[in-house]
Amino acid sequence: MIVTVTANPSVDRTVETDVLRRGAVSRTRPALLDAGGKGVNVARALAANGHRAAAVLPTGGAEGVQLTALLATAGIAVVEVPIAGAVRSNITIAEADGTTTKLNEPGPHLSADERARLIAATLEAARGAEWVALCGSLPLGVPTDFYADLTLRLRAQGVRVAVDSSDDALRAVVAVRPDLVKPNREELADLVGHDVRTLGDVLAAARTLGTTVLASVGAEGALLVTADAAWHAQGARVEPRSTVGAGDALLAGFLAAGEIGPDALAEAVAWGTAAAALPGSRMPTPAELDRAAVRCSPAFDPATTLSET
């Protein structure tokens, strides 16, 4: 069982249009509606590929009802923490050339009691889990050290912890060294305070974090950097339809593989690559994974420049 924690889940609506023109009417194709939030996406990807997953999340308002209904159809065990506020609703606009524009609401305000119940629900759900993944942004009222504190509590239970967050929440949790962090290129640059332009920059930045790093680098795939080794993996070149959730699928594939190493990295890249070619925040199924196209190696050119997309 892999447990995900999404402190700020959402209902995600994705619309596809040929070109988005500001201030003008844009015709779209029918909207896609998905349960959203990074941890929710990780759980959805795991379930779509036959792995047991439990999603811990706060729920409230009409959007919360909608969110849990969407998850119920995906075969995910949902651990709900009722809150007074309403779950947020996000909008993604996907253009034909792969450009993705996201409009994310801040989410509800969680009281001290609601935060405490979210922590308690996580610790209970984590008993016997292979991994716990702490994912996404933090809602209003939640301190930036929330994931860091939860990591320490989970570690005391002997549970492996993976974290995919950003900004101050990511900086705080890196300081307590979870078993795995999964930054993208921009998040890694923010952590180290300078641009990350090449695979060599990614490697150097990851090595300053003091823990295992799974760094997603868009079209160039991903790097896995441990205390004593580093690997690069890249999948087939695909026409990106929506990059929303691709990093979450990458993390799900890595956790599903079990042990930390190049095999897990290759599996992760197969999942992330497949997700990028799908509409909205759809998660890939086994039939959509192209494992044979993934190239994984400890030897790579550090001067390789990263694409802008």
> pLDDT tens for residues 161-185?
999 999 999 999 999 999 999 999 9
The pLDDT value recorded for residue 27 is: 87
Structure-block tokens of residue 226: 């441990």
Mean pLDDT for 186-197 is: 94
Count the alpha carbons within 13 Å of 283 in the hemisphere toward its beta carbon: 27
- Residue at token pair 């956790």: 255
CA proximity to 306, closest of 218, 188, 189, 240: 218
Instruction: Identify each DSSP E strand in the chain by its residue range.
Output: 2-6, 10-17, 32-36, 53-59, 77-82, 88-95, 100-103, 131-135, 160-164, 180-181, 212-216, 222-225, 230-234, 295-297
Mean pLDDT for 118-138 is: 97
Structure-block tokens of residue 104: 């994310």
Strand order in the sheet with 53-59: 77-82, 53-59, 2-6, 131-135, 160-164, 180-181, 212-216, 222-225, 230-234, 295-297
Mean pLDDT for 26-51 is: 92
Of the pLDDT bands very low, low, confident and very high (cuts 50, 70, 90), residue 245 is: confident
The pLDDT value recorded for residue 45 is: 97
The residue from 113, 248, 290, 301 that is catalytic is 248
Taken as a whole, the chain contains a residue count of 309
For residue 124, pLDDT over 80 is answered with yes
Report the chain's mean pLDDT, rounded to a whole number.
93
The pLDDT value recorded for residue 178 is: 98
Lowest mean pLDDT, pick from 36-50, 111-125, 176-190, 232-246: 232-246
For residue 309, pLDDT over 60 is answered with no
Mean pLDDT for 191-219 is: 95
Inter-residue contact 234 to 249 (CB < 8 Å): no
Mean pLDDT for 185-195 is: 94
- Is residue 248 part of the annotated active site? The answer reads yes
pTM over 0.85: yes
CATH topology of domain 2-20+29-297: UDP-N-acetylmuramoyl-L-alanine:D-glutamate ligase (3.40.1190)
For residue 48, pLDDT over 90 is answered with yes
Range 239-266 burial, b when 16+ CB lie within 10 A, else e:
ebbbbbbbbbbbbbbbbbbeebebebbb
Structure-block tokens of residue 308: 């802008």
Inter-residue contact 49 to 66 (CB < 8 Å): no
The pLDDT value recorded for residue 295 is: 96
Mean pLDDT for 220-231 is: 96
Single-letter code of the amino acid located at 234:
Q
